[in-house]
A and B are shown apart, each in its own frame.
Chain A
Amino acid sequence: MYRDGEPQAFRQLVDLYRDRMLQFFYRLCWDRQRSEDLTQDLFLKLMLGSKRYRPQGRMATFVYRVATNLWIDHYRQQRPRPRFYSFDQVVHANDDSAPRQYAGDDPTPDEQLSDGEERAAMRQALERLTEPHRLVFELAVYQERPYSEISDLLDIPIGTVKSRMHNAVHALKDMLGSAEQDQSQQRAGGAG
């Protein structure tokens, strides 16, 4: 529509996706400033790519494809050193190393205050998931994309999407379960 004489169509697209995309990038990088910049980059890329866009598939798929590619490029650029893990690894072996790769990633005192213990545990659990699993979890749970579309976006078989999703959920359950246990033990210890 934007190409076909409706300049307002792009603004509508921005309105429609701005918050979804902000949350998408935020939950991948946990840095508000960076996620806002990535969202801005995404819309610029969409605008520049609008000349090449062929209306064959759904608009949403196109937006998510650009967003996913943007994140993957960004992730590769930001990685300070090569990190090797197999695709079947669900969580990082050392949880400290994974989330610390971004500058400005540490939560501010305000964020620490607003993040309750539970939220902090959830965030930590998500951060510990490896990139491929986190991306699938984000696209399926938060962005509510069908597995077939995720398979298409990430260029992986649908069975892989499913198994990554299942393993991510199992891993999150395990991590949250152990985090709860730790907290209750700490409380019991504190009371004692």
Chain B
Amino acid sequence: MSLQPNSNQHPNNGAADESADHDAVAWQPIDLLLKQGTPDEVTAMRNEVNGNPRKALELADTITLVEQFRLLSVKASPEFAGKLQDVALHSDRFYRSHFQPQSPAWLMPIVSGLAAAATFLLLWGFDVAQVWRSNPELTAVAGHEIRTSLSGMTIGDDRQIDVGSEAAVVDEEPISPDQASWERAVTEILARLDKETTDNLRDAFRNGMNQNGDALKQWLDPSNAMVLLRLEHELRASADVRVRALRSRGALAEVDDLVQELADGIADEMLRVVAVQTDPEGSSQLHVSDEELNNISWGVRALIASGSSAYRANALRNGGEWLARHVPQLTGERLVIALSGLVELAAISGQHFEAVAEHGQRLVDDVLQPSDENWRRRLPDLLAGHAAAGNLGEAGRILARLPAFGIAPQRCKLVRQLMLGQLRDRRTTAQDRPEVLAAMLYGCGDLLDEATGELDRIGWQLLRWKPTRLAPDFGTVQQIAWSRAPGSRGYTRLQRELRQLAILPMPDNLASRSAFLMCLATNFAGHVGSLLLNDE
């Protein structure tokens, strides 16, 4: 292979295109990138790049181009798994008719003869019903042993046989395309986890797969949490309720004045941001920056935490519509940020329920559905090391509520387990940072291992960081404050420290100011159910 650059490689230069001679075509950076050629040739190319800055720049340019193009892909439709399942079933039949070893020719008459003799004997004198009568707890259908719990049943023998038959039919039920696709996904995820990730992530996935839990509880708890969120939001509209909650936990009643003043300011600013994002003809800009997204989502949550007010209702509604409009184009952490506002809004008002259901499902699928990028090339975005711990914590909180929107609770829990595994990874790699611990407690507190004392240890470790020292990272402070429920260890001490937040300077940024408001509103907005108890 010649290593001289070829000047005849321009796309419009047709003469060079159909070179039949391998050696006549000089190498290009794409060849090195794709490692095309023998090891010697690749080494030679690499050496030439090292000695030639122009080639190095060209190579960098080509890498960028190829990486960009590799992002172009398509997600399979739900029907695709079914189509492939058809192929697989077809292949089984094809195998049986073409490749399965045939029985020897003499075997068939013998088998037929034995079957005929057995049938004759059965019809002549064998009382089949006696089998059921003598041993009602054990039935055998088509070679399957099926145990039915009949001891407490009062139905007759005929019914018992029916139960057995039904069980046998259920046993034969073919798996659905969704099940088939899920099983394949699990296999791929496990293969990837076994291959290259740490024990934490692998254990988290295996634990998640093995823990089924109480199915009814898994649906009911999130639904009840939604109802409580709505009821408490209605209660929070009353200044008396807010002040009473503040006083009962040792905070100053004046904090509520500060919260309401802040909330009015946030509402005004949100209306301005949303208005800028919408052009005069009413069509919104498609691109949304991280800053705008954070501002609106945190703003929505802050307005909900501060208690409803007619003055701020317009900002809340517009903020929710803005998030719902942009959420379809968001993925990964940005999807989490948008959903954090939308989930709370849907809980208190029922608005954008369908959007939460649709994009919440997408959030789950983004983690659990293998694709060319996810799991095969790299870990999903939300399980990657670059994902912000705070967003993982928020994702954990959202996923705990998504079953109330009709999303399978086991899958939500599995994603939370994986996120917890990722956060545990960060702890083991000496990143025992407050935001990591706060995210674990806030997003996955119910999944932490109490038996090994993990929950307690994290709680104690978090007490080392005073909220005032963590400022201006009010996102972390909010997660710490909202995850430490009344009555838990260290709660009183945290309350004492949270009181000092009120004297801190006001953050400039809308998202930080919203997080700051949420920290101040902890006593009447932070702990689901506590306001109702307090009010009683």
Contact = CB atoms under 8 A, between A and B. Distances in A.
Secondary structure at the A interface, as helix, strand, loop or mixed, is: helix
A63 interface: no
Interface string A1-38: 01111010011001100111011001100001101110
Given A114-B328, A144-B34, A166-B25, A172 B69 contact: yes
Contacts of A165: 28, 30-31
Contacts of A15: 184, 187-188
Contacts of A14: 84, 87-88, 91
A88 B65 contact: no
A19 B370 contact: yes
B38 to A, nearest CB: 10
B22 interface: yes
Contacts of B372: 19-20, 23
B99 interface: yes
A172 B16 CA distance: 17
B9 A167 contact: yes
Contacts of A22: 74, 76, 80
Interface in B12-70: 12, 14-25, 28, 30-31, 34, 36-37, 61-62, 65-66, 68-70
A44 B86 CA distance: 10
A104 interface: no
Interface string B77-108: 10110011011101110111011110000000
Contacts of B23: 159
Nearest to A22: B76
Given A114-B328, A167-B16, A43 B87 contact: yes
Given A5-B101, A163-B9, A164-B17, A44 B376 contact: no
B326 to A, nearest CB: 10
Contacts of A72: none
Size category of the B interface is: 35 or more
Contacts of B179: none
A2 B74 contact: no
Contacts of A174: 11
A117 to B, nearest CB: 8
A153 interface: no
A158 B22 contact: yes
A164 B23 CA distance: 15
Contacts of B11: 90-91, 167-168, 170-171, 174
A125 B524 CA distance: 55
A20 B206 CA distance: 27
B495 interface: no
B10 interface: yes
A39 B83 CA distance: 9
B18 A163 contact: yes
Nearest to A141: B66
B17 A40 contact: no
Given A7-B95, A18-B84, A126-B72, A33 B77 contact: yes
B91 A11 contact: yes
B21 A141 contact: no
A135 to B, nearest CB: 14
A164 B17 CA distance: 6
A4 B99 CA distance: 7
A140 B36 CA distance: 9
B295 to A, nearest CB: 21
Contact of A7 (B15, B91, B188): B91
B376 A19 contact: yes
Contact of A47 (B19, B66, B90): B90
21 contacts: A2-B99, A10-B95, A11-B88, A14-B87, A19-B376, A23-B74, A27-B73, A47-B91, A51-B98, A87-B17, A90-B12, A122-B68, A123-B72, A147-B36, A158-B22, A159-B24, A160-B20, A162-B28, A163-B25, A170-B10, A173-B62
Interface of A: 2-5, 7, 10-11, 14-15, 18-20, 22-23, 26-27, 32-33, 35-37, 39-40, 43-44, 47-48, 51, 86-91, 110, 113-114, 116, 118-119, 122-123, 126, 140-142, 144, 146-147, 157-160, 162-174, 176
Interface of B: 9-12, 14-25, 28, 30-31, 34, 36-37, 61-62, 65-66, 68-74, 76-77, 79-80, 83-84, 86-88, 90-92, 94-96, 98-101, 184, 187-188, 286-287, 328-329, 370-372, 376
The 10 closest A-B pairs by CB, nearest first: A88-B14, A88-B17, A90-B11, A171-B11, A157-B20, A159-B19, A10-B91, A7-B95, A26-B74, A162-B25
